[in-house]
Chains A and B, each alone.
Chain A
């Protein structure tokens, strides 16, 4: 029955929505489990993009259990200062944190945990990226490229946003870019649209697919059609009338 499944799916969403803001301290545990962290940060010249999601920079200590600050403040600061490299790290860290305790222990987000991230949180992150990049960075920007230009093909998407590089072979072939050196950490004219934030393909593309099909960005699509709606969306409230869309997009997650 449709109604029961809505309930079932909806409850954890609300729960985790709440949880994500109140228990940021679990991130400490997260660091303990990051076995590859040091490998990457100390000795990296041509590290592949893959090594990044399970890693985290040693500098992100801003997320203290203290009270009134928004968990997105650090991200906002980095973005405001055009520190895209740090902003990118912070975004991944936030994503893991928002995905819940298990993800933090593990050090990466399993695709099916994306449903537990609230639309508001994802949109908040996205909004910051867009605001500080003139709408050239951010998940919703990427989603549009993936959906419309790459027709949901990830190779096409990776090439468009500059995450894969062409190899010097006669048959057209692409390999993943090395992290971090081969990425562009500034908003320059030649920086491809959607280049940041980076979600790697180390564990395939299901995580990114689930971010793109998250209800948060289903609404963004709507938003583009009617500009005036944008203000409402930015308040980050999940309105009851949006639920049917949520179901629709949720189903899409799982049936290719």
Chain B
């Protein structure tokens, strides 16, 4: 596979690592060591650049001997290649018969029609075709192509038959007088049948129902029509019956009835042979069963089965199959799975259904009707489709309901549909993106796991065949999952895996928002209580840390973590079949990572049947040349040894990856649809993978699900609180309130003067334009200054941030949940008829809340004041409500009951009681009631605790319910946590609502830029698309790009977005703004179809016939085309990302490891890793390097732009925001050398803001790093907390490096807070000396790189501290 080794690959954002460097040296180390391998990315696509290179000619059958027989030509288009073999056989048999007619047949697979030439030949073939057949045409672009082509010939053709497909194609149906052209419009009962069912799940299901209700339907039709309709329905039966015999009769029937030359010949045909709609099928069984007892009886009598398979204790796997594969005889891949499972001693119950709704069959055949218990220990779907609805309309709630009843692990494996085996193997993307959308993303919404590609497709026959190693992987994994259902708790072995980023003792147990050891401790106690063997578990979390990392505080010499196992090289090689493949990058084992020179070392500690291990890291984090050119894209020997130990020596029944996030799933390999040589697949081997993952990170959780087969279990991010005010900011707030009460007493000017000087001390002068001290101000001017400062203070004060770290199994107390509820209450939810609390309150004083927001933003003092009152009243009334549902221990008790008593008649609700004491006494009581009922529901969810419960379920081999990941404030359905996280249907975004929000943000951004840019629109905006952002906001930032270039998305009948159309310049009212879109690696993995859509949009806009001063996309593309000597279309390349299988620009790693020389080096890194474009004209080529166009496009950027999507992840919380920031880079590329403006949109609150990057960095520093509320909260978490503080400072340096937008005072204040304060300093050093050392080092680095200008005294102190802590860590007594 081209991609695997050729593509540079590295850590995901925030998976940091470091090796200690010498203090003042920022020179990269080990330069000599890295061999300069060429940076070459091979393109997987050949030929037409599309995903599939197959041609319809292999499917063409020409009659050999004409003998004067009438000739009938059939053209078909299908999604299901399984029809190819069956139909070919049928036609060959007819031709061999030489009786009535000779047949020419040619078939097209839907996907092939993307190719221009193939499409032409399709149109050509239709010109003399007699009969057209289509089936399962559900991809809109292609459906429209089919429609256009067939429509032209429809009247001339003798018959057109379309089976379940998009309505556009269905309307083409015609058989004599029978036509479906009125589908969807006609009121005739026949079409009503369609219509009604369209709303429920499964279009195909309704077709089936139609077949069953045939006689009833025919009654409504006149007799001649009835005959034609009858033949249509017979056709459907023949088609669904699929066998060559059925298809032969089908062709005879249609040709004989509708081809004029044959009308007199009386072609005899037999009735369709009907198979069961659904049932149980086994290749050895004499028949299909529709009763599970009968099937099991037969199973018991099998002579070929051995004792193991007959044992009552054998694992039983339910298989879910597509009927069409069975009836057409294209069942080899199914047989392979059955053989593999049975040979491994697992019984199978293979069920099938003709429709696309499997919720009924799973109930009927896999669950014991008497006991309600499942007959199976695990269920594996081999269809690839969602359980209900297949490719058309899914019904996930119904699927979840059925799977909950089934209550076993549910795996959805996939056959290759759109690609041949070889095309999949050589593709770096792996699975075709359309198939990913249909067969990976959608099953995830049902809670499906493990998208393993188990069968390939033969290019010539279209038949499916087993991929023997993949089948093995699938089957062993399924059995291992089933074992979890069968084994007792006492005997189950669990390997808990923690992470360490950067690889440093200060960082063992890293995970976003999680107090890892405290959580592990709590989980282990829970498991112990439940009957698991965790013998020897210490009594406290601290002792647990001690055991694993030996000496966390490193007061004494202890360079190593606890070694759990020493693996000899020989043993390692025996246990690790792919070990030799790692040698290219890492040399012979054991190497020098996780090794003592002779053995490979596994770090960790075992308690009874539980092993806590430390996952090794990528291993090249500190090596700048590898970061830049990392061809060394493979795990190192130590990494492989860890997983070999877990699987084969410790023999874990399950591995539990603990917290967000590790590096296993980011190991190189295909994006989706792993092959035998993809590392995540090889590493995880046969171990069931359970993964605790932060609920707010659905995008990376999805990567873990797809690439390392994780059953994710979400955990709550710590409850967010308001940032509050401190020090000078608090003083300011007090001054402002005294101004308000005293401003008319003549003390006004004096107070304003104090406000101004305090504001300057607090460095607010960059955010608010402050007059000189002593300057005479009018009353209005004074009010305005105070208003602006006040507004800034309010902004800081009300900022939401998580304080502290979450502990699994400890839900927030009711009061901790208040801030979350306040924010949930701040959003209007028109779909649910819920008004926002600020909105309701503003109304009572005759104001519209949007106006209040706007006034407050401008600094209108009265509005700032009103907004503050509204905010306080919101908090107050919600606190009053929560108080009433809480017991003395602070726990929420039965909200439902409380609510009904609260809402009872004649009583005054607590919130009304509270509000009656404020100016909002006349608030609308009905609206409040509706809102608080909703808040009550949310409260219940916030404090619910399913995190441990779900883990237990997963370990017991039960089904873990799926749930969306994202922001609980926008989408309370994220709660309660403890769900198997999923993203969303990628084709559903952007939604209409997201488009509306995007327009607002884009207009605000353009306004803001015009202000700073002499009233001119920016010609180009460079922006970033994030996976999680787009999931949480349903595609807002995606929609922003569309709105900038002036296009809008168009959804198809099923609400899927696969098309865009231009908005007219009149409607847009401004020029089309050019864009440079930088997609994160995760976005690329999850939303490749949307990248395709964007690229089409950009190209479409570039080719519009418009004046170039109104269309900057066109303007630039034309210039670039001339310069590069390419077409305008090709020059209009604006959608970039990493190469396939590679993530991030590595700038974050370089910064985190201090392993970079100068900013130029970082920029080179960015360019070399991020200049891969997606081309909608050659989608099969995957990501192709187009650095020249990338640089040219960036050089036109007037502004850079990013979105902040949620309050808990801000600019300095993670390293990926600065990692993707091109601000300084653009400056270097621009011809005029001007620095572009840098903006950040903040849509985390109801009042969306566009701020400059510098403003946002300051806001972030004030609310996090410098805020006592925040850092004290972190300090409470001890060891992990110190690391969090250090991380913020390192990320701040990252912003200096990529954008230069960090003020000096930020570093100065940080130094004052953490270093100058002796008390604080001592606490930091004691709690986590390793992280403290990094903190000190980062301060020195900030100064050394010229980002922080400070006194020599400060620096001297830092140097002293560094050697002090160094000695301490090394154990040198002073």
User: Which A residues lie within 8 Å of B343 (CB)?
Assistant: 111-112, 206, 209-210, 253-254, 256
Cβ-defined contact, A170 with B2, below 8 A = yes
Task: Among B88, B332, B677, find the residue whose CB has the most chain A CB atoms closer than 10 A.
Answer: B332
- Contacts known (A39-B88, A46-B459); A202 close to B307, Cβ less than 8 A: no
Cβ-defined contact, A254 with B309, below 8 A = yes
Interface-lining segment among A128-136, A171-179, A184-192: A171-179
User: Which A residues lie within 8 Å of B426 (CB)?
Assistant: 167-169, 173
Cβ-defined contact, B1 with A116, below 8 A = no
Could you mark each residue 27-46 of chain A with 1 if its beta carbon is under 8 Å from any beta carbon of chain B, else 0? Answer: 00000000110111011111
Interface-lining segment among A47-55, A73-81, A218-226, A237-245: A47-55
Cβ-defined contact, B466 with A110, below 8 A = no
Docked complex: B1-37 residues within 8 A CB-CB of A: 1-6
Cβ-defined contact, A154 with B468, below 8 A = yes
Interface-lining segment among B134-142, B298-306, B656-664, B1360-1368: B298-306
A249 close to chain B: CB less than 8 A: no
Cβ-defined contact, A39 with B345, below 8 A = no
B284 close to chain A: CB less than 8 A: yes
Task: Among A153, A170, A175, find the residue whose CB has the most chain B CB atoms closer than 10 A.
Answer: A170
Cβ-defined contact, B344 with A51, below 8 A = no
A5 close to chain B: CB less than 8 A: yes
B581 close to chain A: CB less than 8 A: yes
Cβ-defined contact, A173 with B329, below 8 A = no
- Contacts known (A35-B89, A206-B339); A51 close to B458, Cβ less than 8 A: yes
Tell me how far the C-beta of A118 lies from the nearest C-beta in chain B, rounded to whole angstroms.
Answer: 15
User: Which A residues lie within 8 Å of B5 (CB)?
Assistant: 170-171
Tell me how far the C-beta of B288 lies from the nearest C-beta in chain A, rounded to whole angstroms.
Answer: 14
Docked complex: B330-378 residues within 8 A CB-CB of A: 332-333, 335-337, 339-340, 342-345
B1025 close to chain A: CB less than 8 A: no
A255 close to chain B: CB less than 8 A: yes
User: Which B residues lie within 8 Å of A26 (CB)?
Assistant: none
User: Which B residues lie within 8 Å of A50 (CB)?
Assistant: 332, 458, 463, 465
> Which of the residues B6, B88, B577 comes within 8 Å of A153, measured between beta carbons?
B577
Cβ-defined contact, A202 with B465, below 8 A = yes
Closest B residue to A100 by beta carbon equals B304
How many angstroms from the CA of A254 to the CA of B308 in the assembled complex? 8
Docked complex: B394-445 residues within 8 A CB-CB of A: 421-422, 425-426
B42 close to chain A: CB less than 8 A: yes
> Which of the residues A38, A113, A172, A254 comes within 8 Å of B306, measured between beta carbons?
A254
Cβ-defined contact, B425 with A173, below 8 A = yes
User: Which A residues lie within 8 Å of B88 (CB)?
Assistant: 39
Docked complex: A2-40 residues within 8 A CB-CB of B: 5, 9, 12, 35-36, 38-40
User: Which B residues lie within 8 Å of A253 (CB)?
Assistant: 306, 343
B895 close to chain A: CB less than 8 A: no
> Which of the residues B309, B468, B471, B675 comes within 8 Å of A173, measured between beta carbons?
B675
Could you mark each residue 35-46 of chain B with 1 if its beta carbon is under 8 Å from any beta carbon of chain A, else 0? Answer: 000000010100
A205 close to chain B: CB less than 8 A: yes
A204 close to chain B: CB less than 8 A: yes
How many angstroms from the CA of A115 to the CA of B284 in the assembled complex? 15
User: Which B residues lie within 8 Å of A255 (CB)?
Assistant: 308, 345
How many angstroms from the CA of A201 to the CA of B340 in the assembled complex? 12
How many angstroms from the CA of A5 to the CA of B92 in the assembled complex? 49
- Contacts known (A36-B89, A201-B468, A204-B466); A169 close to B459, Cβ less than 8 A: no
Cβ-defined contact, B4 with A170, below 8 A = yes
Task: Among A169, A205, A207, find the residue whose CB has the most chain B CB atoms closer than 10 A.
Answer: A169
Cβ-defined contact, B458 with A203, below 8 A = no
Tell me how far the C-beta of A173 lies from the nearest C-beta in chain B, rounded to whole angstroms.
Answer: 5
Closest A residue to B341 by beta carbon equals A206
Docked complex: B694-732 residues within 8 A CB-CB of A: none
Cβ-defined contact, B461 with A39, below 8 A = yes
B283 close to chain A: CB less than 8 A: yes
User: Which A residues lie within 8 Å of B308 (CB)?
Assistant: 254-255
Docked complex: B95-140 residues within 8 A CB-CB of A: 96
How many angstroms from the CA of A44 to the CA of B460 in the assembled complex? 9
How many angstroms from the CA of A43 to the CA of B460 in the assembled complex? 10
Closest B residue to A205 by beta carbon equals B468
How many angstroms from the CA of A110 to the CA of B284 in the assembled complex? 8
> Which of the residues A116, A172, A206 comes within 8 Å of B677, measured between beta carbons?
A172
- Contacts known (A48-B461, A115-B304, A254-B309); A204 close to B340, Cβ less than 8 A: yes
B1046 close to chain A: CB less than 8 A: no
How many angstroms from the CA of A95 to the CA of B344 in the assembled complex? 23
How many angstroms from the CA of A145 to the CA of B333 in the assembled complex? 26
Task: Among B44, B304, B308, B677, find the residue whose CB has the most chain A CB atoms closer than 10 A.
Answer: B304
A82 close to chain B: CB less than 8 A: no
Cβ-defined contact, B332 with A172, below 8 A = no
A125 close to chain B: CB less than 8 A: no
A155 close to chain B: CB less than 8 A: yes
Cβ-defined contact, B469 with A155, below 8 A = yes
- Contacts known (A204-B336, A206-B343); A51 close to B304, Cβ less than 8 A: no
User: Which A residues lie within 8 Å of B828 (CB)?
Assistant: none
Tell me how far the C-beta of B954 lies from the nearest C-beta in chain A, rounded to whole angstroms.
Answer: 26
B963 close to chain A: CB less than 8 A: no
Closest B residue to A209 by beta carbon equals B343
A161 close to chain B: CB less than 8 A: no
User: Which A residues lie within 8 Å of B336 (CB)?
Assistant: 202-204, 206
User: Which B residues lie within 8 Å of A113 (CB)?
Assistant: 304
Closest B residue to A156 by beta carbon equals B577
Tell me how far the C-beta of B950 lies from the nearest C-beta in chain A, rounded to whole angstroms.
Answer: 32
- Contacts known (A42-B92, A175-B421, A176-B421); A36 close to B461, Cβ less than 8 A: yes
Closest B residue to A107 by beta carbon equals B329
How many angstroms from the CA of A149 to the CA of B620 in the assembled complex? 35
User: Which A residues lie within 8 Å of B500 (CB)?
Assistant: none
How many angstroms from the CA of A113 to the CA of B88 in the assembled complex? 31
How many angstroms from the CA of A181 to the CA of B425 in the assembled complex? 21
Listed by A's residue number, 17 A-B pairs whose Cβ atoms lie within 8 Å are A35-B86, A38-B92, A47-B460, A50-B332, A106-B283, A169-B1, A171-B4, A173-B1, A175-B421, A202-B336, A202-B465, A203-B336, A204-B336, A206-B343, A253-B306, A254-B306, A254-B309
Top 9 closest pairs, chain A to chain B, by CB: A204-B336, A171-B4, A112-B304, A50-B465, A206-B339, A48-B458, A203-B336, A204-B466, A169-B1
